[in-house]
Amino acid sequence: MASTPDARLLGRICRAFQKHRLEAVLVGNAGAALQGAPVTTVDVDFLVRETPLNIKKIKAVAKELGAACSQPFLPASDIIRLSGPDLDIDFMFTMGGKTLEQIRSRSRRIEVESNISVMVASLSSIIDSKKKANRPKDRAALPILEATLKTIEAMESEQGRVDPPGKAC
């Protein structure tokens, strides 16, 4: 992947996850964009296990990244948000009713910087979660994501898929 500001930021986030041993899967439009979908987003969403230890790790990552840690939308949502001058990260404990283990089993590793990669939810998992969320912004993205998925599946059936090497966060 080219070293764009977004790639450098994602690399910085992944290095913090590695340092604090936080296992996470990139989801949402950022995950879709890394797989070639022509979508944008203002934040980065990760799926993690909901454990007291992971909450501590998220707080350590926040400190590492110079970000504030909060839980917006309580009690309606259990999202943990890290906000800083150059980042907004949301941590979720389920995605479309599925756990980290269920999403991770269909995920792939994508390199964001030299020797730094991130586990990314499959595009089909991201599509499923957006269908279940059924928010206007998710419905608007679905045709783009579904077209991207069809293109990827066609290319993979011709070439086969090879994941790049690197450390996953």
pTM of the model: 0.87
Contacts for 39 with CB less than 8 Å, ≥ 6 apart? 29, 32, 33, 141, 144, 145
Q: Could you tell me which of 52, 46, 43 has the C-alpha nearest to residue 23?
A: 46
Q: What is the percentage of the chain residues whose pLDDT exceeds 90?
A: 72
Residue 139 predicted with pLDDT over 90: yes
DSSP 114: T
Q: What pLDDT sits at residue 1?
A: 40
Is 105:122 a contact under the CB 8 Å cutoff?
no
User: What are the pLDDT digits (tens) for 105-129?
Assistant: 999 999 988 889 999 999 999 999 9
Q: What pLDDT sits at residue 115?
A: 87
Residue 74 predicted with pLDDT over 80: no
Interhelix angle 123-133/136-159, rounded to 10 degrees, is 160
Q: How confident is the model at residue 89 (pLDDT cuts 50, 70, 90)?
A: very high
User: What are the pLDDT digits (tens) for 28-54?
Assistant: 999 999 999 999 888 999 999 999 999
- Please give the average per-residue pLDDT across 80-93, as a whole number: 93
User: To the nearest whole number, what is the mean pLDDT of the chain?
Assistant: 89
Q: What pLDDT sits at residue 161?
A: 55
What structural domains and CATH numbers belong to the chain?
Answer: 5-158 (3.30.460.40)
Q: What pLDDT sits at residue 3?
A: 44
Q: What is the DSSP string of 153-167?
A: HHHHHHH---PPPSE
Q: What pLDDT sits at residue 162?
A: 52
Whole-angstrom CA distances from 17 to 62, 86, 103, 150 are 10, 17, 18, 32
